Structure formats: C-alpha cells, structure tokens
Amino acid sequence: MSVQSEAIEDLRASVGLRIADEHLLRTLAGGLTDVEKLLRETARSEVKEVHEAASHLVEAGGKRFRPLFTLLAAQFGKGNHEGVVTAAAAVELVHLATLYHDDVMDEATMRRGATSVNARWGNSIAILTGDFLFAHASRLVSELGTDAARIIAETFAELVTGQMRETAGPADGEDPVRHYLSVIAQKTGSLIATAGRFGGMVSGAEPEQVEALRRFGATIGTAFQISDDIIDIASPSHESGKTPGTDLREGVRTLPVLYALADADTEPRLVELLAGPITDDDLVEEALRLLRVSTGLDRAMTTLSDYAHRASKELSTLPASAARDACESVAEYLIARTK
C-alpha cells in the first residue's frame, strides 16, 4: 500500500469525517503525508537524546485532527500549498508539546499506547522536549508572516492560561460549570480555532470565511472535550477502546460530574464518592453506575448537543462544498459517538 493510500485509509477512520468527494479525500491525504514528513524533519536533532525524545510522540501517531482541520479549512481558499502544510505542522507541534507537559503534570506513564517521555526519560527531559517543539513551532510560523506569529503567540497564552486556571480551580463564588467550560475553551478550543484560522488565512480565503472557520474550530474543540467527558463515563471499554472512569481515578471533575454535584437531588453516596480521586476499582465502578443514572450525564449530553449545533451554524456563512460537508460531519459525529 502506498503512503498516500495509507493516509486515505487513516482519513476514512479519522474523527468521524465523512468525505464522499474523492478529490477532496486525496487532497487531504496528500497534505497529511506532507505534514507527517515535515513533523519528522522538525523533530530531528543531531543530539541523540533530543532526537529520541522529540520523535517519540511524532512517531506514535494520533488522529492529527488539528493539521487535518488546517488542510480542510484551506479548501475554502486556494487549497493546499507549502504555507498551508507549514501551518498544519506548526499547530500539531504545539499540540504535541502540550502533551509532553501534560504528562509531567499528570504523572502519566503511557501516551498513545507507548511509555510516556516523562516515565522513560524523566520530567526534566519531557519538559525540555515540549519546549523544543514549541520553539520549532514558532520557527515554522515565523515563515508565515507577522500576523501568524502574533496569532500563535496569543494561542500559546490561551493554552497556558487555561492550564493554570484548571490547576487553580474556580475562584470563590465562581460557577464551577462556567469555569470548566471556559477552561476547556482555552485548553482545547483555542488551538483548534487557530488551526482553522491558519488554514483559511494562509490559503487566501475571504476574511469572513476565516473568521467563521475560527469560530467553528473554537466551538467544535470545546465540544470534542465534552464528548470525551461523556464517553469516559457512559461507554464501556469494549466500545470506546478506553478505560472508563479515568477522570474519576485522577480526581478530575469533568462536566457530567459537575452537573451531578450541582443537583441537590443527586444520590448522597455519589457525592461522597466524588469528593476526591477514586483509586479502588470497585468504587470506580460504583461511581460510574451512579453517574450513568444521574442528571449530570443527561445535562452534559444537552450541553454537547448545544455546542455541536452552534458549531454547525458557524458553517452557514461558508460556501456549499465537499469541504463544508466534511466539517458538518464532525459536528454530527460528536453527538453520535456518545450514544
């Protein structure tokens, strides 16, 4: 199977994208192949330790949704070219860099089916590798002009601010749900928004289309995180491919949990279980059972539907095309994957 054929197969299975247009499919697959090549070149270093650590997550793969959305957004302009591929690789490097840092903060031991860098080489190497990838992302974006450099700097600030706000928690008197939604908008939505913005901007799309792509990315990015929150509770591992209750084990209060805790009628036993991290497997299962019948899960589903609907509305200003249909399919997929 050729490299592009493999990329096409990966696309068919990626993040719910339904692409019937064969030309668009091949265009995106070709762009992703170029992005992968640039990612590997960027992670290369003459220093053995740097090269191994920086290449670790690049080689581990992933959905590559952010560069894919960059390439998709470019179809509303003049399509893929070298600058679009550069932008797509840059946003993925930023994403990868945040994963290195997240794993240190979460004391994670695995990432994408492989031993995490912090577990293999230590926290210092993981942090420095993340910084290394941030630096190279900035170098790539500098080739796109001063506006792009300003946008990626603002995005860095959003990502870091979101992480800090999550770590600090809501302020006294602040609504925990509102705090959580604004945090994930910064931590997840901001970079996906920049991916769409870059794709449209670098390809020469009209300013109003670039703004629509930015808004769609910001909204769909937040929806992705809410969808993951729901799946972590609602889906058995054989359906999702993930171990349910991961957030409960880490003591992370995601949207369904926050909604459940806000309901005065929530089962007292569930409130007791959600007081902190749950390390016992039987207690995790008990908490999951109670959450699945709580109002928290239903309310989170309603919020997800609202975000997916809002994301779809942002596409109305874009011209009808196979690319717009592909974007629409992502919003539909986020709802379907949680049922």
Band the pLDDT of 1: cuts 50, 70, 90: very low
Q: Is residue 134 part of a domain?
A: yes
Same domain, 220 and 328: yes
| pLDDT above 90: residue 9 | no
Q: Nearest CA to 197 among 73, 331, 329?
A: 73
Strand-pair partners of 111? 114
172 within a domain of the structure (yes/no): no
Q: Judge if 16 and 151 occupy the same domain.
A: yes
Task: Report the alpha-carbon distance of residue 192 to residue 69 in Å, rounded.
Answer: 8
The answer to the question of residue 151 being in a domain is yes
CA gap 74, 213 in Å, rounded = 10
Q: Are 230 and 304 in contact (CB under 8 A)?
A: yes
How many domains does one find in the chain?
A: 2
Same domain, 237 and 329: yes
Same domain assignment for residues 119 and 233: no
Same domain, yes or no: 149 and 257: no
- Considering the domain architecture, whether residues 35 and 136 belong to the same structural domain is answered as yes
- Tens digit of each residue's pLDDT (9 = 90 or more) over 78-116: 998 899 999 999 999 999 999 988 888 877 776 766 778
Report the chain's mean pLDDT, rounded to a whole number.
91
> Residue 60: pLDDT above 60?
yes
Q: Give a yes or no: residue 91 inside a domain.
A: yes
Same domain, 142 and 244: no
Q: Are the C-beta atoms of residues 215 and 313 closer than 8 Å to each other?
A: no
Q: 272-306 burial string, b = 16+ CB within 10 Å, else e?
A: ebbeeebeeeeebeebbebbeebebbebbbebbbe
Q: Percentage of residues in the chain with pLDDT exceeding 90?
A: 73
pLDDT score at 50: 86
pLDDT at 12: 61
In this predicted model, what pLDDT tens digit does every residue of 17-45 receive, in sequence order? 788 889 999 999 999 999 999 999 999 99
| 98, 121, 156 - which closes a domain | 156
Provide the domain limits for residue 269: 206-339
Does 77 reside within a domain? yes
If asked whether residues 212 and 147 sit together in one domain, one would say no
Q: What is the CATH number of the domain that holds 305?
A: 1.10.600.10
Spacing of C-alpha 280 from chain mean position: 29
Question: Which among 186, 184, 178 has a CA at the least distance from the CA of 225?
Answer: 184
Phi, psi of 114 (to 5 degrees): -125, 160
Residue 176's CB: how many other CB atoms inside 10 A?
A: 16
Amino acid at 250: E
Has residue 201 been placed in a domain?
Answer: no
Which residue among 87, 121, 156 closes a domain? 156
Is the model's pLDDT at 14 over the cut of 80? no
Query: Is 110 in the same domain as 257?
Result: no
Residue 163 belongs to some domain of the structure: no
* pLDDT for the residue 283: 97
Give the SS3 label for residue 23. helix
125 and 254 part of one domain: no
Mean per-residue pLDDT, 321-332: 93
The four Cα atoms 306, 311, 312, 314 give a dihedral, to 10 degrees, of 130
The residue ranking higher by pLDDT, 156 or 334, is 156
Both 144 and 25 in a single domain?
yes
Within a domain: 329: yes
Q: Residue 49: its pLDDT value, please?
A: 86
End-to-end CA distance of the chain: 34
Query: pLDDT over 70 for what percent of the chain?
Result: 92
117-138 pLDDT per residue, tens: 888 888 998 899 999 999 999 9
Confidence of residue 238 (pLDDT cuts 50, 70, 90): very low
Q: What is the pLDDT of residue 8?
A: 65
Predicted confidence at residue 240, as pLDDT, reads: 44
> How many CB atoms are located within 10 Å of the residue 102 CB?
17
DSSP 8-state code for residue 185: I
Read off the tokens for 94: 């930023």
Sequence-separated contacts (24+) of 311-319 with Cβ below 8 Å:
311/216, 311/219, 311/220, 311/223, 314/212, 314/215, 314/216, 314/219, 315/212, 315/216, 317/208, 317/209, 317/212, 318/76, 318/209, 318/212, 318/213, 319/76, 319/209
- Segment 158-172, tens digit of pLDDT: 999 999 999 999 999
248-307 confidence digits (pLDDT tens): 998 999 999 999 999 999 999 999 999 999 999 999 999 999 999 999 999 999 999 999
Q: Which of 156, 171, 187 is the last residue before a domain boundary?
A: 156
pLDDT at 43: 94
Instruction: Let me know whether 15 and 152 are in one domain.
Output: yes
